[in-house]
């Protein structure tokens, strides 16, 4: 009994030592959530987002946007593909296929379900010339990719003035390490 008590105390001391040894100015071991903190209640969806700019481009502002923001992704395709297709053809009435070989129905069928596909191994990028829709990295020029697919036609050469905004990079350099995003202006 006495031995057990001693062991428990010894373990506690080791535990404390391990806990405190990892602390430094910028990085600390996150404490376990305090039991006293209240996280109760029900939380109801207000906004959602996955692929950049997609729902903003293809869903009209105002009430339709609020409705889209609370439509679960598994039902988006059935509810919004035709809406997206109408918008695509309004944006580019000359649309035939895009650089991925997609018809208007195929392209908007992909876009209407607004989730970001992410590969678990290898390069994660919206598009880097080789990999297509394997994630979204900070430096990806996602707008040019989308403009090209909307306006660029089957070879990416149609509507030259509309297929790039000629802003190719962020205004601050990203960090190679966590938290990756640049400091605030």
Site for other proteins in 121-140 (CB under 8 A): 121-125, 134-138
CB-nearer residue toward other proteins: 87 or 111 = 87
CB-nearer residue toward other proteins: 41 or 101 = 41
Asked if residue 92 binds other proteins (CB under 8 A), the reply is yes
List binders of other proteins among 53-72 (CB under 8 A).
53, 55-57, 60-63, 65-66, 68-70, 72
Is 136 within 8 Å of 126 (Cβ atoms)?
Answer: yes
CB-facing half-sphere around the CA of 65: CA atoms within 13 A: 12
Is 116 within 8 Å of 78 (Cβ atoms)?
Answer: no
Asked if residue 1 binds other proteins (CB under 8 A), the reply is no
144's enclosing H/E stretch is: helix 142-151
CB-nearer residue toward other proteins: 10 or 167 = 167
Asked if residue 120 binds other proteins (CB under 8 A), the reply is yes
CB of 6 to other proteins, least distance (A): 29
List binders of other proteins among 2-21 (CB under 8 A).
none
CB of 35 to other proteins, least distance (A): 9
Provide CB contacts within 8 A for 116, sequence distance 6+. Answer: 50, 51, 133, 135, 136
List binders of other proteins among 145-174 (CB under 8 A).
159-162, 164-172, 174
Q: Which of 162, 139, 154 is nearest to 101 (CA)?
A: 154
Calpha distance 160→162 (Å, rounded):
5
């Amino acid at each position: 009994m006495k031995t057990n008590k001693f062991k428990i105390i010894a373990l506690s001391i080791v535990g404390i030592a391990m806990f405190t040894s990892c602390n430094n100015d910028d990085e600390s071991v996150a404490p376990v959530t305090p039991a006293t903190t209240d996280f109760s209640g029900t939380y109801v969806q207000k906004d959602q987002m996955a692929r950049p700019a997609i729902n903003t481009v293809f869903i009209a502002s105002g009430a339709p946007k609020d409705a889209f923001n609370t439509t679960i992704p598994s039902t988006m395709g059935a509810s919004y593909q035709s809406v997206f297709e109408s918008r695509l053809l309004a944006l580019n009435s000359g649309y035939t296929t895009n650089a991925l070989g997609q018809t208007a129905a195929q392209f908007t069928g992909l876009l209407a379900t607004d989730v970001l596909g992410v590969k678990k191994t290898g390069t994660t990028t919206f598009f880097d010339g080789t990999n297509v829709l394997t994630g979204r990295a900070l430096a990806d020029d996602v707008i040019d990719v989308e403009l090209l697919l909307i306006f660029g036609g089957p070879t990416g050469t149609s509507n030259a003035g509309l297929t790039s905004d000629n802003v190719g990079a962020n205004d601050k350099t990203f960090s190679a390490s966590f938290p990756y995003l640049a400091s605030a202006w």
